[in-house]
Structure 1
């Protein structure tokens, strides 16, 4: 499967590209600056420049031969609220619109745990919760894309275990490596289609969690 990873040089994005390669998929590294893709090109990964601040029609040109999109881009924790809205909200929506223009059906979105529940939004991250809330809603209600939304808990740098849980009431964290592994597995799991999935570290192998959806 040819998969465009939007934000391929991010902490999760890099893991996604590596996992897709290991699985035998054909990842495309979507980067704001193509010159940042030399490491990927050395590994035989196609690099495509895509600026989320541009128009959907321009973003669509990057997706014309793509089977699926994983949106792993983010403005970063140190940016101001305006960039959070421009990248995490509007950039995400424009990527969805571009996918529809290009005829891409499958779209995976990294969201946040409790993004749909305003009562659970923590003040330091409130602008990011707002962005994820509205981006997720656009994906579900304003597109025809075959989506999977994954809502991870707090992301850690711990080694991945390959074991997770999906509990809408639980609080916790998850290694970035396990989030990436889950997304790649969900990409190939028909039962993950049109699902919003909270995700935390757990004791159950990823494939078993997907089988229970």
Structure 2
């Protein structure tokens, strides 16, 4: 499958690309960096500015792309322009191109504002607002075959290959496990039009996804 990964140089994005390449997918990674991120015959790179106009974004997306991941993030700078408006423009561009599969990396409880009194979330309120409305757009204003994966706190530690889904607690995630979960949902038809949160747990990723 030929896959566009928007945000390939990020912490989750780089792991995601590595895992997709290991599964022999063709990957087009987007980054604003000049150097090529991966030395692999199945990898190509695109300097895609998601703060540009929607038509400019759309013109850079190849017609033969079969699935799109959005794993980009502002890092707290320009959350409206990147995490909200930039994300929505990619949804619109992908939809206009006739691409159906769109997988969004979001944040835990992005759509459940009743959980936002958690102090850890309160410190990220602008980011949560941006992700909330980007996710709302994807669910309510697009016809894409979306999956929204809402991850808790990202941690730089070895993955376990095991997760818990739809916990009532925010939890933490090894970045490797988040990337593996994103890969697992790609061809899982039961995840189409689904939103779920994840954290490290005791269930193998493939089994957890199968039970959604």
Into which bin does the TM-score normalised by the smaller protein fall?
A: over 0.9
Q: Distance in 2 between matches of 1:75 and 1:174?
A: 19
Task: Tell me by how many angstroms 1:32 deviates.
Answer: 2.8
User: Which residue of structure 1 lines up, in the alignment, with residue 48 of structure 2?
Assistant: 50
Cα RMSD of the aligned pairs, angstroms, is 1.1
Task: Tell me by how many angstroms 1:135 deviates.
Answer: 0.3
Task: Tell me by how many angstroms 1:123 deviates.
Answer: 2.0
Q: Which moved more, 1:174-183 or 1:55-64?
A: 55-64
Task: Tell me by how many angstroms 1:117 deviates.
Answer: 1.9
User: Which residue of structure 2 lines up, in the alignment, with residue 207 of structure 1?
Assistant: 206
Q: List alignment gaps of at least 5 residues for structure 2.
A: none
User: Which residue of structure 2 lines up, in the alignment, with residue 102 of structure 1?
Assistant: 97
Task: Tell me by how many angstroms 1:61 deviates.
Answer: 2.1
**Counting helix residues as a fraction of each chain, which structure ranks higher?**
1
2:60 aligns to what SS in structure 1? coil
Q: Distance in 2 between matches of 1:17 and 1:88?
A: 20
Is the CA contact 1:4–1:29 (under 8 Å) kept in the aligned structure 2? yes
Is the CA contact 1:67–1:106 (under 8 Å) kept in the aligned structure 2? yes
Task: Tell me by how many angstroms 1:62 deviates.
Answer: 2.6
Is the CA contact 2:9–2:37 (under 8 Å) kept in the aligned structure 1? no
1:111 aligns to what SS in structure 2? strand
User: Which residue of structure 1 lines up, in the alignment, with residue 20 of structure 2?
Assistant: 20
- Trace 1:29-178 onto structure 2 (pairs within 5 A): 29-33=29-33, 35-36=34-35, 38-40=36-38, 42-44=39-41, 45-63=43-61, 64-77=63-76, 79=77, 83-121=78-116, 122-178=121-177
Q: Which runs of 4+ in 1 moved over 6 A?
A: none
Is the CA contact 1:57–1:101 (under 8 Å) kept in the aligned structure 2? no
Q: List alignment gaps of at least 5 residues for structure 1.
A: none
Aligned length: 206
Is the CA contact 1:107–1:147 (under 8 Å) kept in the aligned structure 2? yes
Task: Tell me by how many angstroms 1:170 deviates.
Answer: 2.5
The normalised TM-score by structure 1 is 0.93
Is the CA contact 1:28–1:48 (under 8 Å) kept in the aligned structure 2? yes
Is the CA contact 1:32–1:52 (under 8 Å) kept in the aligned structure 2? no
Task: Tell me by how many angstroms 1:158 deviates.
Answer: 1.2
Task: Tell me by how many angstroms 1:31 deviates.
Answer: 1.6
Q: Distance in 2 between matches of 1:123 and 1:170?
A: 15
Task: Tell me by how many angstroms 1:59 deviates.
Answer: 1.2
Post-superposition CA distance 1:59-101 (Å, at most 9, x none): 1123222001100000114x2xxx0000000000000001011
Post-superposition CA distance 1:15-47 (Å, at most 9, x none): 0100000111111111234x23x232x323111
